Chain A
């Protein structure tokens, strides 16, 4: 006890500086999470406040473990994230390499590249909902005007087309984060190793594969880490585009949570699901953060 007090006194300045950040996070994030952890063990329903005290142990978790719809949504979320993150990374890499190559008008291109970053996810969702609409959407209109199809294509209704559509929206929204960070990496890249490799007889592809790419890896992982911090932004996109529908065909973990909590008013069960979604986010972040640390250590030898 005395030791703690002495420690507090010795480090009073940094602790005081840190206090506001810690307090607000405790208040707005940790405290609610503790509360929701508790409710995930109750039969809490929004419309019946007295159910808050109905302790049902692990039943919510057992329920969702045995719930086929939950597992489908979970699997779809993981698939969605894997596809989206990888494509974003590849497209971002390609885009950065292209922009890095051009000299005339590079500044303007760079600015345009950042354009989607300013879009609210909900706007992105709305934008693609509007474009993929089967009666008035510009995509269908264009296909019909060009005579490629006579029927309207149900982009947001068909199971796989809808999945494809929300992936497009997500990728459009987030590719620029990768492109910007990788471009920054390309700018920071020292010339010497590239020149040395050329002298050693590497061709363009070998230079890219053995020099440029390893140097870019930390930047790629930084982008991955930043992205996985808010993978759940996809909720906004999907919520406005399809709302998880039709008939649960684009249901992701997050839309399922929202429906369970607010439409079915089963707070307890929704909170149990929410914990699964938190773990998912932490897993993705932790995974890429570890990769980042490894890549940095590796690069130290450069």
Chain B
């Protein structure tokens, strides 16, 4: 077999696998535009007969058949909670990551280990005591309560990633900048931060995706439109007697689209982030 035919075969095999990876998602997206009636028909209708935005209208409370699920509020909650907790996790992660990368202090290694270990606690295991304590503190069903939790579960990973990136920046650069007239603070923002930026960006994406997609904690710590996020809200559909498949598909599309856009925008940083901070660290 010539090298060329081999290459072509490999290309098609890869393409086929990619298709398999994509199909489930595409199927959901397609279903989101089909009416429930068509989805439920037996035998199955393979060629979509009528595509429309009706399902989206319905879950946002517009149009004829209204779904009693406040997806608009869930979306807003998700957005507020994810962006705020990502921002906080990044700030805290930068501060902690910088400390680990640049300073020697007693107990450094074990501090790092314990921070990482805190991340291994399964969400559901953490949700039990948090549920009780947050109820006592009045934090149950508040965006603030969820933000606090998401920030905490994101911090270990942001610290780790960002630490790896700062460690790649030679400390002489900061010293050179200080000799060139910078304060330590200026040296950080003008020299060290720009050089570690892709680490910060990728840490931010991971934190955002984690918060945006989190379910185990959100399903216990949120109750109402005050704080319920999209993933927790998705279960509203199944709580009823009949499952509104089309509505769920439409909501699934709403959950996935921001994540998709964000990831594609910063794809380059994402790969750099995973490989640099993680592997070389």
Contacts and interface: CB of A to CB of B under 8 A. Distances in A.
A185 B279 contact: yes
Given A274-B128, A278-B125, A118 B245 contact: no
A93 interface: no
A11 interface: yes
B275 A181 contact: yes
Contacts of A51: none
A185 B271 CA distance: 11
Interface string B12-39: 0111011001101101100100000001
B122 A274 contact: yes
A115 B43 contact: no
Given A18-B111, A35-B133, A102 B118 contact: no
Given A21-B95, A127-B28, A130-B31, A112 B22 contact: yes
Q: Is the interface of A mostly helix, strand, loop or mixed?
A: helix
A29 B152 contact: yes
A78 interface: no
Interface stretch (A63-71, A135-143, A195-203): A135-143
Nearest to A169: B24
Nearest to A177: B274
B157 to A, nearest CB: 8
A29 B121 CA distance: 8
A32 B221 CA distance: 14
A131 B27 CA distance: 9
Given A35-B129, A128-B24, 4 more contacts: A105-B11, A141-B46, A229-B157, A232-B125
12 contacts: A11-B106, A101-B14, A119-B259, A126-B28, A130-B31, A135-B40, A136-B40, A141-B44, A181-B275, A240-B235, A254-B125, A271-B129
Interface of B: 7, 10-11, 13-15, 17-18, 21-22, 24-25, 27-28, 31, 39-40, 42-44, 46, 91-93, 95-96, 98-100, 102-103, 105-106, 111, 115-126, 128-130, 132-133, 148-149, 151-153, 155-157, 159, 209, 212-216, 219-220, 231, 234-235, 238, 245, 248-249, 252, 255-256, 259-260, 263-264, 267, 270-271, 274-275, 278-279
Interface of A: 7, 11, 13-15, 17-18, 20-22, 24-25, 27-33, 35-36, 39, 46, 95, 98-99, 101-102, 104-105, 109-123, 126-128, 130-131, 135-136, 138, 141, 144-145, 172, 176, 180-181, 184-185, 187-188, 218-219, 222, 226, 228-233, 235-236, 239-240, 254, 257-258, 261-262, 267, 270-271, 274-275, 277-278, 281-282, 285
